[in-house]
């Protein structure tokens, strides 16, 4: 067991769930990458995708002058798929709960909990009330920027267009599958958001 994991396990045991009365510990982008390499196998698509989204967020944060919280959240946005975190099947909720058990801040867990239209899939799974109660939706644009990075990064971690990304998702999950149904529902809003952020990236303002 690595130092990081041992500390995380110790912390989770110490903090319990939900954490109350404890000081949140900030995870930085380097810590996020170290955690990913412990949670996913080296060749796993989830690892490649997570690293790709993190790298995309590094570019976006640099161009738009946004905080490293965005980058950390991008690296960790899909930890809910890791065996150590999986519980309800709603990966945004599972990931946010897992990070909370490690002492992550409410800002970080809120971003992970709500990325990429989580509430749409949460409603499909009957978990929308739970999600909102445990993790209030973040205000501000960081959530959109995180979702933008996710939706423009392929399952293997390459930068793709939003059209390619939706095509891959619908190939991966057949029609009628809960994930493809949720994405269809969320697609118009996600496309609008992507166009808005691409305009911002063309003409960065701080
Ligand atoms: Fe993702």
The pLDDT value given to residue 12: 42
Within a domain: 8: no
CA of 59 to the centre of ligand 1 (A): 17
Answer yes or no: is pLDDT of 94 > 50. yes
> What is the per-residue pLDDT across 55-67, written as a single tens digit (0 to 9) for each?
999 999 999 999 9
Residue 19, pLDDT above cutoff 90: no
What pLDDT does 179 receive? 87
What is the CA(87)–ligand 1 centre distance, in A?
A: 17
pLDDT for position 11: 41
Q: Which domain range does residue 75 map to?
A: 26-202
Gap from CA of 49 to ligand 1 centroid (Å):
7
Give pLDDT tens digits for 159-186: 999 999 999 999 999 888 988 998 899 9
Q: Spell 77-95 as b/e; 16+ CB within 10 A means b.
A: bbbbbbebbeebebbbbbb
Looking at per-residue pLDDT, the higher value among 6 and 200 belongs to 200
HSE (side-chain half, CA atoms, 13 Å) at 31: 17
9 touches 103 (CB < 8 A): no
Residue 19 lies in a domain: no
Query: Mean per-residue pLDDT for 138-166?
Result: 95
Distances (CA, A) of 24 to 14, 95, 99, 104: 13, 16, 10, 5
For residue 42, being part of any structural domain is answered with: yes
Separation CA 98–CA 85 (nearest Å): 6
| pTM as predicted | 0.87
CA of 150 to the centre of ligand 1 (A): 5
- Lowest model confidence (mean pLDDT) among 12-26, 32-46, 117-131, 177-191: 12-26
Q: How far is the CA of 199 from the centre of ligand 1 (A)?
A: 22
Q: How far is the CA of 142 from the centre of ligand 1 (A)?
A: 15
pLDDT for residue 26:
81
Q: Is the pLDDT assigned to residue 206 strictly greater than 70?
A: no
Q: How many domains does one find in the chain?
A: 1
Q: Does residue 16 lie in a domain region? A: no
- Is 7 among the domain residues? no
| 113 CA → ligand 1 middle, Å | 12
Alpha-carbon gap, residue 31 to 38, rounded angstroms? 11
Q: Does residue 131 lie within any of the structural domains?
A: yes
Distance, in Å, from the CA atom of 79 to the CA atom of 96, rounded to the nearest integer, reads: 8
User: Domain with 149 in it: what CATH number?
Assistant: 1.10.3210
Q: Tens digit of pLDDT for each residue in 101-115?
A: 999 999 999 999 999
What spacing in Å lies between the alpha carbon of 114 and ligand 1's midpoint? 12
Hey, what are 64's tokens?
Answer: 């738009």
96, part of any domain: yes
What's residue 8's pLDDT?
47
- 183 CA → ligand 1 middle, Å: 13
Residue 84 belongs to a domain: yes
* The predicted structure's pLDDT at residue 140: 87
The pLDDT score that the predictor gives to residue 205 is: 57
Residue among 116, 150, 118 at smallest CA distance from 134: 118
Distance 21 CA to ligand 1 centre (A): 31
CA of 149 to the centre of ligand 1 (A): 8
Inter-axis angle of helices 142-151 and 45-64, nearest 10:
130
Average pLDDT over residues 28-47: 96
pLDDT at 204: 67
């Amino acid at each position: 067991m690595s130092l990081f994991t041992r500390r995380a396990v110790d912390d989770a045991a110490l903090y319990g769930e939900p954490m109350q009365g404890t000081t949140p510990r900030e995870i930085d982008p380097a810590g996020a990458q170290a955690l990913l390499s412990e949670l996913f196998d080296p060749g796993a698509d989830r690892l490649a995708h997570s690293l790709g989204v993190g790298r995309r967020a590094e570019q976006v944060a640099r161009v738009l002058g946004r905080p490293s919280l965005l980058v950390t959240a991008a690296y960790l946005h899909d930890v809910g798929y890791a065996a150590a975190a999986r519980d309800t099947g709603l990966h945004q909720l599972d990931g946010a709960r897992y990070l909370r058990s490690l002492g992550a801040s409410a800002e970080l867990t809120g971003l992970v909990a709500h990325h990429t239209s989580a509430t749409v899939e949460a409603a499909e799974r009957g978990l929308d009330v739970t999600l909102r109660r445990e993790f209030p939706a973040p205000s501000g644009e960081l959530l959109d920027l995180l979702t933008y990075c996710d939706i423009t990064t392929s399952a293997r971690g390459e930068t793709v267009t939003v059209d390619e990304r939706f095509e891959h998702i619908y190939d991966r999950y057949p029609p009628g599958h809960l994930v493809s149904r949720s994405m269809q529902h969320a697609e118009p809003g996600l496309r609008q958001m992507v166009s808005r952020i691409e305009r911002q990236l063309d003409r960065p303002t701080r």
